[in-house]
């Protein structure tokens, strides 16, 4: 049948089970939105306040559901506004399809109004990108783009489409899904027997689990493997939840803000088994001094990660689910209680300045009220406190910008998560600096009544940077005190959103007792001490055993 390019695009999305879209209209995508107008019973479209928010929302949707996130933007500034969102998704391996409109093909290359080379600009931050000028190419390009985004190590793919390609008609037949990439799981490459031998011989093994565990649906296998070998599991920021935090083998966050016992466990181990992790500098500290007595086994679907940041003694490539099941089956059932006792004895308490209203108290109180929520964060101290203290019991529950560290990520991500998981409570833990970056998305929360509970850790500061200035710059607080005089309750009220200002535990309990949580958006402005800092902290470039406890 003959369809316009725009109609073909929507049909392709339907074939790939896409029913949720995030985006923002503009001149080059008028034909796309026009076609969508006729298809509103097949799609939910969330119009964000800014294209960056739309991409973060598609990202939050993808991270929390495991499905492809899809976002539309117009040419020129619409396209450039997506760049931070695309880079955020790229760094954390989030499957996105970003569709941008482009000027009509006859105007390409002429500095036409709102023309920008978005495929060129996003080349280093996408898995792949396309410029389509011909409606007849759209179906095959989109099919391939979606397969690439979700297969292997996932990531964002951008398809830039000229306005005339949206309008022109072409023959379209619903194609057989070319999702074969997805089904063809890569073969296992590497020496399983040697891995099993090393694991059986090890007295002090540690599993170092990253975000790849969730991407590879390998949580159950990981847990069986860890339990069979009685092996402690530490998590990177992206890996939190890959084993329930309540599990006795879970040791939580490792790295720059890892717990004392967790970092010490890695440094004292004789075998580190890294699974779906890339040895980020934020985790390993000084690479030359990382777990220097340990052999390292690195298991990942992406070969290019091997020996990139950390040389491994054994690299195992392929599908993590298959690797976990194989290891769980092949290793000896072993008790390592002496090793775990030794790790547990390294626990060191962390004190807060304000014993009553501090970040941990706030998070515990929110957790008690909302339970097993999806939690999005922004970037800074509040992010690290959430990673340390929120008990993540499954993957896809913690949405945070790990690789790029994007302030302003959280509100959009929380919106996407709530749209994708209407039955699950969604909390955003944000900071005053980060929240200001993209709080325009309050308009989206309000317009679509998206019931996110926003917990603002308001310390009047760009806290994380200020903490570095305190510790490493002699308390020279250059440009990091951002003031306490903004009335966030009135700000959200202007959007028709309920707000609470909380300065002590009693007010916190009132705010949490509000019956509207989960039914309507709400913001809780928690006033915390400027000098509450995140501890432990490992100074950059130091070995992760050299943490400061505050």
Ligand X SMILES: Cc1ncc(C[n+]2csc(CCOP(=O)(O)OP(=O)(O)O)c2C)c(N)n1
Q: Which entry of 91, 146, 163, 435 is annotated as an active-site residue?
A: 163
Q: Is 461 helix (H, G, I), strand (E, B) or coil?
A: strand
Q: Which entry of 7, 11, 22, 51 is annotated as an active-site residue?
A: 51
The 3-state secondary structure of 475-544 reads CCCCCCECCCCCCHHHHHHHCCCEEEEECCHHHHHHHHHCCCCCCCCEEEEEECCCCCCCCCECCCCCCC
Q: Is 525 in the site for ligand X (CB under 6 A)?
A: no
Kindly determine how many residues on this chain lie close enough to bind Mg ion according to the rule CB under 5 A: 6
The answer to whether 222 touches 277, Cβ cutoff 8 Å, is no
Q: Is 411 in the site for ligand X (CB under 6 A)?
A: no
Tokens read off for 402: 């790990």
Q: Is 465 in the site for ligand X (CB under 6 A)?
A: yes
CB of 426 to ligand X, least distance (A): 19
CB of 410 to Mg ion, least distance (A): 13
Q: Which stretch binds ligand X (CB under 6 A): 109-117, 134-142, 455-463, 538-546?
A: 455-463
Kindly determine how many residues on this chain lie close enough to bind ligand X according to the rule CB under 6 A: 20
- Candidates 216, 217, 316, 236; CA nearest to 277 is 236
Contact with ligand X (CB under 6 A) among 314, 457, 497, 538: 457
Could you give the CA distance from residue 367 to residue 22 in angstroms, rounded to a whole number?
29
User: Distance between alpha carbon 68 and the CA centroid of its chain, in Å?
Assistant: 14
CB of 361 to Mg ion, least distance (A): 17
Q: Mask of contacts with Mg ion, 311-340, x by CB under 5 A?
A: ------------------------------
- Candidates 369, 368, 366; CA nearest to 377 is 366
For helices 337-344 and 260-268, the axis angle rounded to 10 degrees is 140
Q: Which entry of 1, 2, 106, 113 is annotated as an active-site residue?
A: 113
The answer to whether 455 touches 428, Cβ cutoff 8 Å, is yes
Task: Respond yes or no: is residue 114 known to be catalytic.
Answer: yes
Q: Is 432 in the site for Mg ion (CB under 5 A)?
A: yes
CB of 432 to ligand X, least distance (A): 4
Q: Is 525 in the site for Mg ion (CB under 5 A)?
A: no
In 104-155 the beta strands, taken as DSSP E runs, fall at 128-132
- Candidates 298, 310, 312; CA nearest to 207 is 298
Q: Is 126 in the site for Mg ion (CB under 5 A)?
A: no
The backbone torsions φ and ψ at residue 416, rounded to the nearest 5 degrees and listed phi first, read -60, -40
Which H/E stretch holds residue 41?
none
Q: Is 85 in the site for Mg ion (CB under 5 A)?
A: no
Contact with ligand X (CB under 6 A) among 213, 222, 407, 522: 407
Place of tokens 């298809």: 39
Q: Is 4 in the site for ligand X (CB under 6 A)?
A: no
Q: Which entry of 39, 114, 325, 360 is annotated as an active-site residue?
A: 114
Q: Which entry of 464, 467, 512, 532 is annotated as an active-site residue?
A: 464
Q: Which stretch binds Mg ion (CB under 5 A): 80-88, 223-231, 320-328, 452-460?
A: 452-460
Q: Kindly list the distances between the CA atom of residue 147 and the CA atoms of 12, 20, 62, 168, 184, in Å, as whole numbers in the listed order.
A: 12, 17, 14, 25, 11
Task: Respond yes or no: is residue 113 known to be catalytic.
Answer: yes
Pairing of strands 128-132, 69-73: unpaired
Question: How many CA atoms, within 13 angstroms, populate the side-chain half-sphere of residue 107?
Answer: 16
Q: Is 431 in the site for Mg ion (CB under 5 A)?
A: yes
CB of 387 to ligand X, least distance (A): 12
Interaction residues for ligand X, span 201-240 (CB under 6 A):
none
Tokens read off for 407: 């302030």
Q: Which stretch binds ligand X (CB under 6 A): 101-109, 325-333, 414-422, 430-438?
A: 430-438
CB of 459 to ligand X, least distance (A): 5
Beta-bridge mates of residue 99: 72, 159
Q: Which does 62 bind (CB under 5 to 8 A by kind): ligand X, Mg ion, none?
A: none
Q: Kindly list the distances between the CA atom of residue 42 and the CA atoms of 37, 39, 80, 320, 467, in Å, as whole numbers in the listed order.
A: 10, 5, 28, 34, 49
Contact with ligand X (CB under 6 A) among 378, 441, 525, 532: 378
Task: Respond yes or no: is residue 163 known to be catalytic.
Answer: yes
Q: Is 420 in the site for Mg ion (CB under 5 A)?
A: no
Contacts of 81 (CB under 8 A, 6+ apart): 50, 51, 52, 73
Q: Which stretch binds ligand X (CB under 6 A): 45-53, 133-141, 179-187, 425-433?
A: 425-433
CB of 458 to Mg ion, least distance (A): 7
**Cβ of 514: how many Cβ atoms within 10 Å?**
15
Task: Respond yes or no: is residue 464 known to be catalytic.
Answer: yes
Q: Is 464 in the site for ligand X (CB under 6 A)?
A: yes
**Longest alpha-carbon distance in the chain:** 72
Q: Which does 434 bind (CB under 5 to 8 A by kind): Mg ion, ligand X, none?
A: ligand X
DSSP category for residue 184: S
The answer to whether 434 touches 408, Cβ cutoff 8 Å, is yes
Q: Is 518 in the site for Mg ion (CB under 5 A)?
A: no
Task: Respond yes or no: is residue 52 known to be catalytic.
Answer: no
Contact with ligand X (CB under 6 A) among 433, 499, 521, 536: 433
Could you give the CA distance from residue 434 to residue 538 in angstroms, rounded to a whole number?
23
Q: Is 382 in the site for ligand X (CB under 6 A)?
A: yes
Contact with ligand X (CB under 6 A) among 434, 438, 453, 545: 434
Contact with ligand X (CB under 6 A) among 379, 455, 497, 520: 379
What residues are annotated to the active site? Answer: 51, 113-114, 163, 464
Q: Which residues bind ligand X (CB under 6 A)?
A: 378-382, 405-408, 431-434, 457, 459, 461-465
User: Which positions lie near Mg ion, rule CB under 5 A?
Assistant: 431-433, 459, 461, 463
């Amino acid at each position: 049948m003959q369809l316009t390019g725009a109609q073909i695009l929507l049909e392709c999305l339907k074939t790939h089970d896409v029913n949720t879209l995030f985006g923002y209209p503009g001149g080059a995508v008028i034909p796309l939105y026009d076609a969508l107008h006729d298809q509103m019973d097949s799609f939910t479209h969330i119009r964000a306040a800014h294209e960056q928010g739309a991409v973060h929302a598609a990202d939050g949707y993808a991270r929390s559901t495991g499905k492809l996130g899809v976002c539309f933007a117009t040419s020129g500034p619409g396209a450039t506004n997506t760049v931070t969102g695309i880079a955020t998704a790229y760094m954390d391996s989030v499957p996105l399809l970003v569709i941008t409109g482009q000027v009509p093909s006859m105007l390409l290359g002429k500095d036409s109004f709102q023309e920008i080379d978005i495929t060129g600009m996003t080349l280093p931050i996408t898995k792949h990108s396309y410029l389509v000028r011909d409606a007849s190419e759209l179906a095959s390009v989109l099919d391939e783009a979606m397969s690439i985004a979700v297969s292997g190590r996932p990531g964002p793919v951008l398809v830039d489409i000229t306005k005339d390609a949206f309008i022109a008609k072409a023959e379209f037949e619903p194609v057989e899904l070319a999702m074969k990439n997805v089904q063809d799981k890569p073969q296992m490459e590497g020496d399983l027997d040697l891995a099993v031998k090393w694991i059986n011989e090890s007295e002090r093994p540690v599993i170092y689990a990253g975000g790849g565990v969730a991407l590879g649906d390998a949580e159950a296998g990981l847990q069986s493997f860890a339990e069979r070998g009685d092996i402690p599991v530490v998590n990177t920021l992206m890996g939190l939840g890959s084993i329930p935090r309540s599990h006795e083998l879970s040791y939580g966050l490792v790295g720059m803000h890892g717990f004392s016992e967790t970092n010490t466990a890695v440094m004292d181990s004789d075998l580190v088994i890294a699974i779906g992790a890339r040895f980020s500098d934020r985790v390993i500290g000084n690479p030359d001094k990382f777990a220097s007595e340990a052999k390292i086994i690195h298991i990942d679907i992406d070969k290019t990660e091997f020996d990139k940041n950390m040389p491994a003694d054994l690299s195992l490539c392929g599908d993590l689910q298959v690797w976990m099941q194989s290891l769980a089956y092949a290793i000896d059932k072993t008790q390592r209680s002496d090793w775990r006792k030794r790790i547990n004895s390294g626990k060191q308490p962390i004190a807060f300045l304000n014993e009553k209203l501090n970040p941990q108290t706030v998070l515990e109180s929110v957790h008690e009220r909302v339970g097993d929520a999806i939690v999005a964060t922004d970037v800074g101290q509040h992010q690290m406190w959430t990673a340390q203290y929120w008990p993540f019991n499954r993957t896809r529950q913690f949405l945070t910008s790990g690789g790029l560290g994007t302030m302003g990520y959280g509100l959009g991500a929380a919106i996407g998560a709530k749209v994708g998981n209407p039955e699950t409570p969604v909390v955003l833990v944000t900071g005053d600096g980060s929240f200001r970056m993209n709080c325009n998305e309050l308009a989206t929360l309000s317009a679509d009544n998206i019931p996110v509970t926003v917990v603002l850790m308001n310390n009047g500061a760009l806290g994380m940077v200020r903490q570095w200035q305190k510790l490493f710059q002699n308390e020279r607080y250059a440009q990091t005190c951002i003031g306490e005089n903004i009335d966030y309750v009135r700000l959200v009220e202007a959007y028709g959103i309920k707000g609470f200002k909380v300065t002590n535990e009693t007010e916190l309990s009132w705010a949490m007792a509000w019956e509207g949580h989960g039914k309507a958006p709400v913001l809780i402005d928690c006033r915390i001490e400027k000098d509450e800092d995140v501890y432990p902290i490992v100074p950059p470039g130091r070995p992760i055993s050299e943490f400061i406890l505050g």
